[in-house]
Amino acid sequence: MRLFGFVSALIITAGLHTATWANDDKLGNLTLTDAWVRASVPGQINGAGYLQINNAGNGEDKLVGVSSDAALRIELHSVVTEQSVAKMREVNSISIPANSMVKLAPGSYHIMFLQLTGPFKQDGTVPVTLKFEKAGEVRVGFQVKPSTYNPSANDMHGGHVHMPGMQH
């Protein structure tokens, strides 16, 4: 009987470990997936974070803040094009419409880590707390991808994206 309990505990622990690496976090009606940053290169002092936020609720929510010990300052940014030049701009919040999905991705919305307290090391995790206007706060582990990581164009749907099967 003790062996069964030990094996059950081992299976449960392995399942929890897998869930951690899958990086799916739920907070109320929000599901947060695919949180990642690129590994730092020598001399790099800033970094950017990306993730997908799905809102299955009937009301809008907003990402209003981010905190982490990984940087001295963290801001929410968008990318705007002025006179054919893409420029980053700080925003106060990122709207997550009801029954929709928003993807923070290169060239669009992102989390800017300014003055890193240490390099982002490949295959590591950067702990980040996201604060939402209605849903509250959630701690998320951002996976550190290789410094050369660049998701395919098919995966980059920055900004507001209507999620298949969801209604506005």
Torsion sign across C-alpha atoms 166, 27, 126, 19: negative
The residues, ordered by sequence, that sit 6+ positions from 121 with a Cβ below 8 Å of its Cβ are: 39, 40, 144
| Owning domain of residue 98 | 25-161
Any domain includes 129:
yes
Q: How much is the pLDDT for 82?
A: 87
Q: How many domains does the chain have?
A: 1
CA-atom Rg of the chain in angstroms: 18
Any domain includes 15:
no
pTM score: 0.77
Residue 93 main-chain phi, psi, to 5 deg: -160, 165
CATH number at residue 149: 2.60.40.1890
Helix (H) or strand (E) holding 7: helix 2-22
Q: Which residues of the chain have pLDDT under 70?
A: 1-24, 152-168
Q: How much is the pLDDT for 25?
A: 80
Any domain includes 137:
yes
